[in-house]
Amino acid sequence: MTEFTLKYGTNPNQTPARLFMEDGGELPVEVLNGNPGYINFLDALNAWQLVRELKQALHLSAAASFKHVSPASAAVGIPLSGPMKRSCFVDDVEGLDDSPLASAYARARGSDRVSSFGDWAALSDVCDVTTARLLKREVSDGVIAPGYEPAALEILKTKRDGRYNIVRIDPSYEPAELERRQVFGVTFEQKRNDAVINAELLRNIVTKNRELPASAARDLIVALVTLKYTQSNSVCFAVGGQTVGVGAGQQSRIHCTRLAASKADTWFLRQSPKVLALPFWEDIRRPERDNVIDGYINQNEEDVCAEGVWHRYFSRRPEPFTREEQRAFLRNIDGVALGSDAFFPFGDNIERACRSGVRFVAQPGGSVRDAEVIASCDRHDMVMAMTGTRLFHH
């Protein structure tokens, strides 16, 4: 395929729109089903780069859930615990533990389920049947992968009344070194960001505590690769081989950190006994459960637990999840990794991150207040590596 005609561009008034190669060559993608749009392909191509790099860096199956050209989450294929399966709504999935790819997508989709609603999924490996079954039950716009098992492809083709977007990408495709884009009729050209993210970036540890376990190095790599394809400014929390909070597109880094930390807190609280025991009616749909859980955790009492409202969702009125209870639960969280796409200008980012269990940090460094940030880490016995590599993405 040398060209693909799109229904429209970013918005319906932006026509004509198409996908093509400037050199007239073959596109590296093939549409197997559906009719992906302009934004779909932006998500697909960014998400594919992310999972491809995670697989290359960690040699594990990887998956990402993308929305509006930033990842809601990304993960590698590590088995899920029982409470995590329940919080991700995958405890009923047969064969999950036998499919690293399905485990990766279950983690990626389950990390921030509200943001992942209507996502574009990316898979590092050939899509198997278990992963296809996971995708089929979620509200999702499409998927990109290097291939699909025949049975998996047939499952996905039944999704959205046969209109689900399925894209296959040539895994051997490598883009040109220079890339171009236009803004307001002006053409920009730059060298493609081919910075390699691996354990070598974590060697320059600048804190008193220099103990960086292999699991923490893995999580920092997950965070940094995710940031490479997240709209800047951005900060990412990761633990257990997955991102648990992505703060993207904020003008202030402290707002990035607060947003990412809030999402991470919600992810941890979803696995608390009080949330797992919520008495939902059996016919409540998955997206509605996501919204209700988010409201319950974030104390939106009028929407969830108020008199005359709760019975829409629950068989009995649940007890509120008080701030004191939440803080007590979160005090037990530790070992979280934090990546930043650019330097921290103030120590306030570290102080906020500490309250969400962050123990390991990776950031480029280079601020005039680096010493202040290092001192903040030392106060909390954190380990911080300065990578020297900025990861802005626009």
Residue 245 falls inside a structural domain: yes
> Which residues are CB-contacts of 291 (< 8 A; sequence separation ≥ 6)?
114
Q: What is the pLDDT of residue 21?
A: 92
Q: CA 89 to CA 280: how far, in whole Å?
A: 13
In this structure, the answer to whether residues 157 and 234 fall within a common structural domain is no
Percent of the chain residues topping a pLDDT of 90: 90
Q: What is the pLDDT of residue 310?
A: 84
In this structure, the answer to whether residues 78 and 215 fall within a common structural domain is no
Does the active-site annotation cover 393? no
In this structure, the answer to whether residues 27 and 55 fall within a common structural domain is yes
Residue 392 falls inside a structural domain: no
Does the active-site annotation cover 228? no
* Domain hosting residue 70, numbered range: 3-174
Residue 183 falls inside a structural domain: no
pLDDT, tens digit (0-9, with 9 covering 90-100), for 150-187: 999 999 999 999 999 999 999 999 999 999 999 999 99
In this structure, the answer to whether residues 218 and 290 fall within a common structural domain is no
Which residue stretches of the chain have pLDDT < 50? Answer: none
In this structure, the answer to whether residues 262 and 300 fall within a common structural domain is no
In this structure, the answer to whether residues 296 and 364 fall within a common structural domain is no
pTM: 0.95
pLDDT, tens digit (0-9, with 9 covering 90-100), for 192-228: 999 999 999 999 999 999 999 999 999 999 999 999 9
Residue 188 falls inside a structural domain: no
In this structure, the answer to whether residues 279 and 263 fall within a common structural domain is no
Residue 185 falls inside a structural domain: no
Residue 187 falls inside a structural domain: no
In this structure, the answer to whether residues 231 and 198 fall within a common structural domain is yes
Residue 253 tokens read as 């880094």
In terms of Cβ atoms closer than 10 Å to its own Cβ (0-12, 13-18, 19+), residue 8 is middle
> CATH no. for residue 82?
3.40.140.20
Residue 163 tokens read as 């209109």
Instruction: Report how many domains make up the chain.
Output: 3
For the beta carbon of residue 325, count every other beta carbon within 10 angstroms. Answer: 14
Residue 159 falls inside a structural domain: yes
Q: Which among 228, 233, 263, 349 is annotated as catalytic?
A: 233
Contact status, residue 121 vs residue 142, Cβ threshold 8 Å: yes
Q: What is the pLDDT of residue 302?
A: 62
- Amino acid identity at 4: F
In this structure, the answer to whether residues 22 and 77 fall within a common structural domain is yes
Q: What is the pLDDT of residue 196?
A: 95
Contact status, residue 28 vs residue 41, Cβ threshold 8 Å: no
Q: Which among 68, 136, 255, 274 is annotated as catalytic?
A: 68
Residue 359 falls inside a structural domain: yes
Does the active-site annotation cover 191? no
In this structure, the answer to whether residues 307 and 339 fall within a common structural domain is no
* DSSP E strand stretches across the chain: 3-6, 17-20, 29-33, 62-67, 70-76, 119-123, 140-145, 165-169, 178-183, 186-191, 234-239, 242-248, 336-340, 358-363, 383-386
- Amino acid identity at 287: P
Does the active-site annotation cover 67? yes
Q: Which among 67, 85, 157, 228 is annotated as catalytic?
A: 67
